[in-house]
């Protein structure tokens, strides 16, 4: 579906994407994970065929975005980071008119708009103004709108940023259903739980390059231990105490508010820490997540 080789994007002197190789296969959910400014959105805009490629090669659905932009966009669904809905039109017309932009005939547009209102669970809001919708509803409408042309490839740029937990789960459920219906999904996110939930395969991006690539499980296995022991001490003590627990795990990560000790047996680490007479305020043993992978690869947390 997508194939990029040495793909670059620069804005003047600033290089946002510094030569990445990506392959997205049909029917999979592919993720771009990384902090703000990693180059995810720039990559997405190039894939959406609205941003000229600065260097390297990019093929989308077998076509070249430089020459076949309209043809590519006709088969894409794009859900941008901000809800760029048409506030001058009501909810139904947002879907209907958008469909007409694709050259879809009136009757089909009307029928699909009604189906999609149902899919987004906003049928009762059909005649409402966009500004009267809640954040979650706007997001669902944006996603519904991106499906009006029954896309082969759906691009979602940070689909759940700014949504409350309940709205996120509704959205995830809908994205699952789309995937099951055979739509290829490309998702950017800086939430590792979202990436773990949704993505079959992902790349971790940092400062315009790909730091790692694989399924969430593969990445965790390759770059982290099975478990993590989180140790919380008093404010400002973490840096100094790190040396005292260093030998207990494969690796120790110092965060401002806690120490992370990486080990396949987290409980043993906690027991050993207490045996040494150290008194953590709180301890937690958990499985490794993509956040740990990210910390390992970039030395920074995703939230930065």
Partner 1 sequence: MALIQTIPAPLTPAAATKVLVLRNYVVYRGAWKLFITGFLEPVFYLFSIGIGVGQLIDTFEFHGEAIPYAEFVAPAMLATSAFNGALLDSTYNVFFKLKYEKLYDQMLATPLSTGDIARGEITWGLMRGSVYSAAFLVVMAVMGLTDSWWALLALPATVLIAFAFSAVCMAVTTWMKSWQDFDKITLAQMPLFLFSATFFPVEVFGDGVLRWVVEATPLYRGVVLCRELTTGVVTWESAVSVVYLVAMGVAGLLVVRRRLDALLLT
E runs forming strands in the chain: 2-11, 14-24, 29-33, 55-60, 76-79, 153-157, 184-189, 201-206, 209-214, 227-232, 251-254, 259-263, 282-287
Tell me the window of 20-28, 29-37, 80-88, 288-296 that interacts with partner 1 (CB under 8 A): 80-88
- The sign of the torsion formed by the CA atoms of 270, 271, 277, 282 equals positive
71 touches partner 1 (CB under 8 A): yes
76 touches partner 1 (CB under 8 A): yes
**Interacting residue with partner 1 among 37, 74, 162, 214 (CB under 8 A):** 74
Tell which phi-psi region holds residue 39, choosing left (phi > 0), alpha (psi between -120 and 50) or beta. left
The site string for partner 1 over 85-124 (x = CB under 8 A, - otherwise) reads xxxxx---x---xx-xxxxx----------x---x-----
Closer by beta carbon to partner 1, 98 or else 294: 98
62 touches partner 1 (CB under 8 A): no
End-to-end CA distance of the chain: 31
84 touches partner 1 (CB under 8 A): yes
191 touches partner 1 (CB under 8 A): no
Q: Shortest CA distance to 237 belongs to which of 254, 250, 261, 218?
A: 254
Closer by beta carbon to partner 1, 76 or else 195: 76
- The sign of the torsion formed by the CA atoms of 74, 79, 85, 89 equals positive
Closer by beta carbon to partner 1, 97 or else 242: 97
28 touches partner 1 (CB under 8 A): no
Q: Residues 33, 294, 49, CA angle at the centre, nearest 5°?
A: 20
DSSP classification of residue 220? H
Estimate the crossing angle of helix 290-298 against helix 216-223, to 10 degrees.
50
13 touches partner 1 (CB under 8 A): no
Using CB under 8 A as the binding criterion, the count of chain residues that bind partner 1 stands at 41
Q: How far apart are CA 156 and CA 146, in angstroms?
A: 9
Q: How far apart are CA 128 and CA 114, in angstroms?
A: 14
Closest approach, Cβ 155 to partner 1, in A, equals 9
Closest approach, Cβ 182 to partner 1, in A, equals 6
Closest approach, Cβ 118 to partner 1, in A, equals 10
Closer by beta carbon to partner 1, 100 or else 251: 100
126 touches partner 1 (CB under 8 A): no
Q: How far apart are CA 9 and CA 17, in angstroms?
A: 5
**Interacting residue with partner 1 among 11, 23, 135, 264 (CB under 8 A):** 11
- The footprint of partner 1 (CB under 8 A) covers 11, 48, 50-52, 69-71, 73-76, 78, 80, 82, 84-89, 93, 97-98, 100-104, 115, 119, 146-147, 149-150, 152, 177-178, 181-183
């Amino acid at each position: 579906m997508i194939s990029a080789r040495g793909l670059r994007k620069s804005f003047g002197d600033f290089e946002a994407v510094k030569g990445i190789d990506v392959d997205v296969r049909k029917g999979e959910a592919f993720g771009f994970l990384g902090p703000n400014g990693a180059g995810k959105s720039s990559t997405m805009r190039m894939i959406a065929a609205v941003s000229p490629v600065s260097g390297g090669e990019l093929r989308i659905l077998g076509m070249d975005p430089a020459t076949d932009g309209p043809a590519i966009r006709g088969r894409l669904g794009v859900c941008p980071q901000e809800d760029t809905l048409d506030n001058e039109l009501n909810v139904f017309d947002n879907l209907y008119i958008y469909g007409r932009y694709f050259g879809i005939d009136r009757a089909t547009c009307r029928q699909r708009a009604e189906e999609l209102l149902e899919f987004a669970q906003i049928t009762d809001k059909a005649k409402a103004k966009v500004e009267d919708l809640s954040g979650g509803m706007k997001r669902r409408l944006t996603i519904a709108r991106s499906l009006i042309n029954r896309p082969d490839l759906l691009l979602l740029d940070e689909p759940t940023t700014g949504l409350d937990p309940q709205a996120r789960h509704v959205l995830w459920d809908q994205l699952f259903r789309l995937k099951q219906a055979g739509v290829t999904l490309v998702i950017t996110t800086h939430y590792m739980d979202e990436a773990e939930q949704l993505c079959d395969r992902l790349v971790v991006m940092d400062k315009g390059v790909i730091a790692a690539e694989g399924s969430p499980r593969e990445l965790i296995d390759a770059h982290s231990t099975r478990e993590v022991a989180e140790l919380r001490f008093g404010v400002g003590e973490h840096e100094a105490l790190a040396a005292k627990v260093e030998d207990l795990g494969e690796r120790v990560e110092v965060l401002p508010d806690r120490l992370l000790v990486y080990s396949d047996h987290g409980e043993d680490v906690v027991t050993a820490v207490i045996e040494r007479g150290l008194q953590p305020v709180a301890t937690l043993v958990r499985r490794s997540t993509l956040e740990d992978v990210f910390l390992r690869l970039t030395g920074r947390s995703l939230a930065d």
